[in-house]
Amino acid sequence: MTEEASIYFSSDNARQELGAEGAPNFVEEILRNLPFPYAVVSAAGAIVAANAGFAVLFDRLPASVAGLELSALFAKTAMRRLRPVIDTALAGAPTTTEGMFVARTGRTIYAHVQCRPLSGVPGAAPRGLLLEIRDLAEDGPIRTRLRMAEQAFLALADQAWLIGADGCVRDGLPSGSERFEVRGGIERVQGRHLSDIFGATAFACQLEQPLARAFKGRSERVSLPRHALRALVWDAPGDASLTSILPVPSEHDLQGVLRPFRGELGTIDGVLLVLRQEDDLPARARELERLAMEDPLTGLSNRRAFQKVLEDELIKARTGISGGISLLALDLDDFKTVNDRGGHAAGDAMLCQISDQLRDVVGDSGTVARLGGDEFAIVRYSADEDEAGRLARQIMLAIETLHLDWNGTSFRTGCTVGVAVLDRQFIRTMNATAADVLHWADDACLTGKATGGGQVRHFKVGENLLASRREDLGNVARVERALAEDELRLFALPVFDMASGAPVMTELLLRVKGEENRLLRPGAMIASAERHGLMTSVDRWVLDTVLDRLAVDPAGVPVSLNLSAQSLANSEFQAYLDSRLAERPHLAGRMCFELSEVSVARNLPAAARMVALLKRHGCKVALDDFGGGWPTTAHLRRLELDWLKIDGTITRSIVSDPVQHAVLRGIICVAQELGIDLIAEFVEDRDTVKALTELGITLGQGYHFAEPAPWALG
């Protein structure tokens, strides 16, 4: 028998464990004829037998592999990928997977892995499995796919660079267009920082923040203005070599996409910058882009455009290009009277007059935007508090002197202005975002409205704000660390049939592992993660974890997952959810997704799309925290819901508060009319159970039945 065809058994006991002791030659003959690396693995995870091809994958001699645990050969990340496949095979079902697997030696294998159950007695539970590893690196189809990918890129893109964490170009692909070929090859830009190639200002304003978000898993579009390219690439002073990197640009801007580049372990190893010079972009497309950034009534910048300007100005302040900014939030006083008495046409005419006046007053010193309704905002390119105050008072006076003659009636209005002046140091200390700055100016404006209107109010920095901000940033760092270091945990809180006491569904709650392995309730952390755009990553982790664990749990009650408002409105998350559910169609029917009442009411179109996607896959959908904010019910008809989860503020009060008891009766009538079942949350005592059952509510959840506990399958 040759070394390559040899079978190595760890012990006679291993043969007995697999039921092979009576026919060793027959077993060896079968194993020997398998064309790929294989190992026979016991139910306990030890290698019982292996061939030489298997051992070579791990740089070992065949005789030294038998008797080892799989975890001694595969890295921890590879074992996490293999564990569900192995468990499924041990449950009796052949299973396959494909991807990158890392050995303890550091070697990476792109492989197709198959696990087949082995049973010593027909009909009995498997005593082990056959683990077959097929290396795909040399397969003809893989080479074909690589050629297809290369040719598709050449047809679609002008240039692609791989950017490292240090912001330097690590590698690149050839251009598909002669107009954009790097003269002298990709080596001319390798090792250069993006700020060297595109210039410090263009990098800081157009690339730095999108690049950081791409390293966190988001795809970002960028546009580099042609004047920056001319000044900072082709005519860069003191570096003549840059003039030969790229050809002279056309009159059009350079468009780009930043995408996370995932390595063999699935981690983000860099960012792919794909560039294209859109010199054939139709004029209509450019016009649509302009319209997308413009308020259709007044011609001012809209909220989307204003946020982009604000983000760019904050970047300039953080990088030292500017000294800071002033933000003015403006709300018209008693504007509703104009609409009520003169009609919306009169209101629109007044808004256009006010917009023209704001343009004249602000001039080139800032950007004016209409954020919606009668709300305006101005960003001034200076952090001078006196000048910002003078501008606010000038705006107030200009609007107060305006009058609109409409069908024989003269209309006037006034305004309240909230001012937030943020210098460079404050922006750096607070790590302020566009949403933060708008919120601070809005708060000042609302304070002025609440105290009579017609005034200028300044946002004031206090110790409470600084402490709150430090806590907020600490929460964000805690969530980022938990994602990176696998410190998130799932706890289970069952939903019970209150009559029988049987669990009918399990809601999964998130916990974060803190210091000394303490588990932290993530309420404040989730709120911070929502504000800073991290909840989609958290929701992806929950989805992947639940799908992987359900795959090895053939029976058991359905589970429910909470979807954040951020994920609800995120098209990339919806596409990811769609693809993951399509991969595991047999699991979708065991899953329920909970959407909060507030997030649905704020973005009904996105909620409708999400519910339609989930129902298409056979998932259940629940509306969480229903009734706590006296919601309207019109949106319920547009959503195909399975459950309404009654807000805990109602449930906890129905025994003692007649008003809440009446509210609950109304909710029951609405649910019956729509054919939606109800689940009562926060059921904490026997009296509440009695009151709920008397009202006909059969499902409940709360500490009276069970407290949250680590999620265990089965």
> What is the pLDDT, as a whole number, of residue 8?
39
Beta bridge partners of 591: 559
b/e per residue, 549-562, with b = 16+ CB within 10 A?
A: bbbbeeeeebbbbb
Q: What are phi and psi of 407, to 5 degrees?
A: 50, 45
What is the Cα–Cα distance from 129 to 70, expressed in whole angstroms?
12
Beta-carbon neighbour count of residue 373 at 10 Å?
A: 12
**Taking the alpha carbons of 541, 544, 548, 553 in that order, is the dihedral positive or negative?**
positive
pLDDT band at 431 (very low <50, low <70, confident <90, very high): confident
Tally of residues, the chain: 714
Q: 145-159, 434-448, 571-585: lowest mean pLDDT where?
A: 145-159
Do 321 and 204 form a contact (C-beta atoms < 8 A)? yes
Domain spanning 470-710: CATH superfamily: EAL domain (3.20.20.450)
> What is the pLDDT, as a whole number, of residue 480?
79
> What is the pLDDT, as a whole number, of residue 229?
45
What is the Cα–Cα distance from 93 to 76, expressed in whole angstroms?
24
Q: Measure Cα distances from 616 to 585, 588, 637 in Å.
A: 11, 10, 18
In the numeric block, which tokens belong to residue 552? 């090895």
pLDDT higher at 550 or 268: 550
Coil vs helix vs strand at 619: coil
pLDDT band at 498 (very low <50, low <70, confident <90, very high): very high
Q: What are phi and psi of 388, to 5 degrees?
A: -65, -40
- Does the structure show a pLDDT above 90 at 581? yes
pLDDT band at 503 (very low <50, low <70, confident <90, very high): very high
Angle between helices 535-550 and 463-484 (to 10 degrees): 30
> What is the pLDDT, as a whole number, of residue 120?
59
In the numeric block, which tokens belong to residue 502? 């049987």
Q: Which residue shows structure tokens 């649910």?
A: 671
Beta bridge partners of 643: 622, 677
| Mean pLDDT value across residues 368-393 | 91
- Name the nearest CA neighbour of 95 among 119, 114, 78, 112: 114
Q: Which residue shows structure tokens 């664990």?
A: 549
In the numeric block, which tokens belong to residue 31? 């194993």
Longest pairwise C-alpha distance within the chain: 108
Mean pLDDT computed over every residue of the chain: 79
| Mean pLDDT value across residues 77-84 | 84
> What is the pLDDT, as a whole number, of residue 335?
87
**142-281 has which CATH code?**
3.30.450.20
- The DSSP element (H or E) to which 380 belongs, if any, is strand 375-380
Are 8-138 and 142-281 equal in CATH topology?
yes
HEC states along 303-352? HHHHHHHHHHHHHHHHCCCCCEEEEEEEEEECHHHHHHHHCHHHHHHHHH
In the numeric block, which tokens belong to residue 401? 């002197």
What fold does the segment set 8-138 form as a domain?
Beta-Lactamase (3.30.450)
- Does the structure show a pLDDT above 80 at 334? yes
Share of the chain above pLDDT 90, in %: 20
Judging by DSSP bridges, how do beta strands 220-224 and 169-173 pair with one another? unpaired
In the numeric block, which tokens belong to residue 20? 């092979």
The sheet with strand 324-333 has its strands ordered as 366-372, 375-380, 324-333, 414-423, 456-458
pLDDT band at 183 (very low <50, low <70, confident <90, very high): very low
What is the Cα–Cα distance from 253 to 229, expressed in whole angstroms?
9
- Name the nearest CA neighbour of 621 among 677, 544, 693: 677
Coil vs helix vs strand at 70: helix
Q: How many CA atoms lie within 13 A of 547 on its CB side?
A: 20
CATH for the 290-461 domain, from 3.90.1570.10, 3.40.50.1980, 3.30.70.270, 3.40.50.11260: 3.30.70.270
- Name the nearest CA neighbour of 664 among 688, 640, 685: 688
pLDDT band at 83 (very low <50, low <70, confident <90, very high): confident
- Does the structure show a pLDDT above 70 at 240? no
Q: What are phi and psi of 382, to 5 degrees?
A: -165, 150
- Name the nearest CA neighbour of 641 among 671, 668, 669: 671
| Mean pLDDT value across residues 629-657 | 79
Angle between helices 344-362 and 335-342 (to 10 degrees): 140
- Name the nearest CA neighbour of 481 among 508, 451, 515, 507: 515
- Does the structure show a pLDDT above 90 at 561? yes
Q: What are phi and psi of 611, to 5 degrees?
A: -65, -40
Alpha-helical runs (H) found in 415-522: 424-430, 434-450, 463-484
Judging by DSSP bridges, how do beta strands 643-646 and 677-680 pair with one another? parallel
- Does the structure show a pLDDT above 80 at 568? yes
Give the pLDDT confidence of 449-480 residue by residue, as tens digits.
877 888 998 887 654 555 555 666 677 777 77
pLDDT band at 10 (very low <50, low <70, confident <90, very high): very low
- Name the nearest CA neighbour of 269 among 260, 279, 281: 260
The DSSP output letter for 644 is E
Q: Which residue shows structure tokens 């030294």?
A: 64
Q: How many CA atoms lie within 13 A of 271 on its CB side?
A: 28
**Domain boundaries, given as residue ranges, for the chain:** 8-138, 142-281, 290-461, 470-710
pLDDT band at 187 (very low <50, low <70, confident <90, very high): low
Alpha-helical runs (H) found in 591-645: 597-602, 604-616
> What is the pLDDT, as a whole number, of residue 522?
65
Which amino acid, one-letter code, is at 273? L
What is the Cα–Cα distance from 84 to 79, expressed in whole angstroms?
9
Do 642 and 618 form a contact (C-beta atoms < 8 A)? no
- Pairs from 5-9 (Cβ < 8 Å, separation ≥ 24): 5/32, 5/51, 5/52, 6/51, 6/52, 6/62, 7/31, 7/32, 7/49, 7/50, 7/51, 8/49, 8/50, 8/51, 8/62, 8/63, 8/65, 8/66, 9/48, 9/49, 9/66
What is the Cα–Cα distance from 278 to 286, expressed in whole angstroms?
10
Q: 283-287, 633-637, 674-678: lowest mean pLDDT where?
A: 283-287
The DSSP output letter for 521 is P
pLDDT band at 121 (very low <50, low <70, confident <90, very high): low
**Taking the alpha carbons of 149, 154, 155, 161 in that order, is the dihedral positive or negative?**
positive
Beta-carbon neighbour count of residue 630 at 10 Å?
A: 6
The DSSP output letter for 121 is S
> What is the pLDDT, as a whole number, of residue 269?
84
Share of the chain above pLDDT 70, in %: 76
Do 259 and 270 form a contact (C-beta atoms < 8 A)? no
> What is the pLDDT, as a whole number, of residue 599?
82
> What is the pLDDT, as a whole number, of residue 521?
60
Beta-carbon neighbour count of residue 206 at 10 Å?
A: 22
Torsion of CA 368, 370, 374, 380, to 10 degrees: -30
Q: 168-172, 501-505, 573-577: lowest mean pLDDT where?
A: 168-172
pLDDT band at 277 (very low <50, low <70, confident <90, very high): low
